[in-house]
A and B are shown apart, each in its own frame.
Chain A
Amino acid sequence: GAVVSQHPSWVICKSGTSVKIECRSLDFQATTMFWYRQFPKQSLMLMATSNEGSKATYEQGVEKDKFLINHASLTLSTLTVTSAHPEDSSFYICSSGSGGAADTQYFGPGTRLTVL
């Protein structure tokens, strides 16, 4: 199956700093990438959908100015958590799809963010 990587796998930062998380599709072109957040012992919640070359679409309640998403190429999407606070501490997972309702999504291994 297709491989999606995320970097870093974990990050610890101080409150007020910004953190960038990368999501790469290694062996296929991802026209669409999705960013999810998962709090401990909770399920995944979709944050935003990004399409290559266009602005991301954010789910209700997700601050677009706080969670900046860039999808500049068919193999790379980045999520930047700006001015991070302890409540942003979570597990962030990306997934890639090539488009179409019948396609399965391929998930990255996730990035654990801890904000002190």
Chain B
Amino acid sequence: KQEVTQIPAALSVPEGENLVLNCSFTDSAIYNLQWFRQDPGKGLTSLLLIQSSQREQTSGRLNASLDKSSGRSTLYIAASQPGDSATYLCAVEQGAQKLVFGQGTRLTINP
């Protein structure tokens, strides 16, 4: 059974810092990995999707990497801003579009 773990569970940093969120998964047989953002009491916003054949994806200040063989992904956020405060979830797809989510990292960017 696929298990997805995110470390740390919570992170608080001052504005302007670069930071890394970690995601690991136990079964490397995945189609893709996605990073989502969830604001309190809200749904999910897709940030980046990395196909299993890709190593990384970039969007603005966000960069996500994928090492499928070791079961790891990182989300790098550059020059963090208070508006980046949210819970970040990673999820892997193992087929039929079924996603297995990690428990998330609650990120707080302090002005």
Contact = CB atoms under 8 A, between A and B. Distances in A.
Given A49-B98, A97-B97, A109 B42 contact: yes
Contacts of A67: none
Contact of A102 (B32, B96, B99): B32
B63 interface: no
B104 to A, nearest CB: 6
- Which interface class (under 10, 10 to 19, 20 to 34, 35 or more) fits B? 20 to 34
B81 interface: no
Interface in B39-67: 41-46, 49, 51
B34 A102 contact: no
Interface stretch (A39-47, A68-76, A79-87): A39-47
B97 A93 contact: no
Nearest to A99: B97
A6 B43 CA distance: 10
Given A49-B98, A104-B34, A44 B41 contact: no
Contact of B103 (A32, A43, A99, A107): A43
Contacts, number: 62
Interface in A28-48: 32, 34, 42-46
Contacts of A93: 43-44
Contact of B97 (A6, A44, A101): A101
B15 interface: no
B97 A110 contact: no
Closest 10 CB pairs of A and B: A107-B44, A109-B43, A43-B101, A101-B31, A43-B103, A107-B43, A44-B101, A110-B43, A97-B97, A104-B49
Interface of B: 4, 31-32, 34, 36, 41-46, 49, 51, 89, 91, 93, 95-104
